[in-house]
Amino acid sequence: MRAFTAVPGGYACELEHAELRIIARVTADTCELLGLPLDADDDAPDDHGSPAPSAEEEILASLDWDPAAGQTPRDPALARLLPPASTDDDELAAEMRRLTEGSLRATKTEQLRVVHDALVASTGLVVVRAGQERAWLSALTDLRLVLASRLGIETDEDAERVYERAGGGEPQTPADELDAALTSLYAALTWWQESLLEAMSGGPS
């Protein structure tokens, strides 16, 4: 993975094929988490192991969440993506969730689709086209929120502990291996997003 640099019509960087496939898969999984899966034929190249997206009702049922109920999602990652409008007034929070959550989920999914489509279409060079910067930055933030939730990161101190744990030697268990992989992906996406911001501000690549 290389940093973004300014190019005519946008910003570009190079990714390895494995990086393209992994980030595209995580992007698609986040859309499923939001209850609006991408089409089955939108999978990243050579990602034959991923299951075909389920119907929206089946996905929401598996998350044990009814979007019409006005309740905070039980999945911590989904709760990060769809936080309550108020933490002091439960009735207001429930009403705001009922009124706005559908459009918020749709907006987030469309932003994630912009990133996913660019990754799927790429053979190594990824381009953020002019006018799509906000969608990319928002989508990458959502991916990082999901990973942070899975890793238990809520503060800078949590992030430091996660990085230290991941760098503490060879993983001893499958859980350690998963933790290390998620940490590496979280760190990579954080750096990648920062490189896009720097390119947009005219900073060093």
Residues 87-125 pLDDT 10s: 777 788 788 878 888 888 899 999 999 999 999 999 899
Q: Which residues fall within 8 angstroms of residue 60, CB to CB, at 6 or more apart?
A: 35, 66, 67
pTM for the model stands at 0.78
146: nearest Cα among 30, 37, 20: 30
Looking at per-residue pLDDT, the higher value among 68 and 150 belongs to: 150
Residue 135: band (very low, low, confident or very high) from pLDDT cuts 50, 70, 90: very high
Looking at per-residue pLDDT, the higher value among 199 and 98 belongs to: 199
| pLDDT at 166 (0 to 100) | 64
Average pLDDT of the chain to the nearest whole number: 80
Looking at per-residue pLDDT, the higher value among 60 and 197 belongs to: 197
Cβ neighbours of 69 (radius 10 Å): 11
Among residues of the chain, what percentage have pLDDT more than 90?
A: 40
Q: pLDDT tens digit string along 70-90?
A: 555 667 888 888 887 777 777
Looking at per-residue pLDDT, the higher value among 179 and 53 belongs to: 179
Task: Tell me how far CA of residue 51 lies from CA of 32, 64, 126, 164, in angstroms.
Answer: 11, 20, 25, 34
| pLDDT at 203 (0 to 100) | 60
Q: Can you tell me the mean pLDDT for 29-57? A: 61
The CA-based angle 16-22-28, given to 5 degrees, is 135
At 128, is the secondary structure helix, strand, or coil? strand
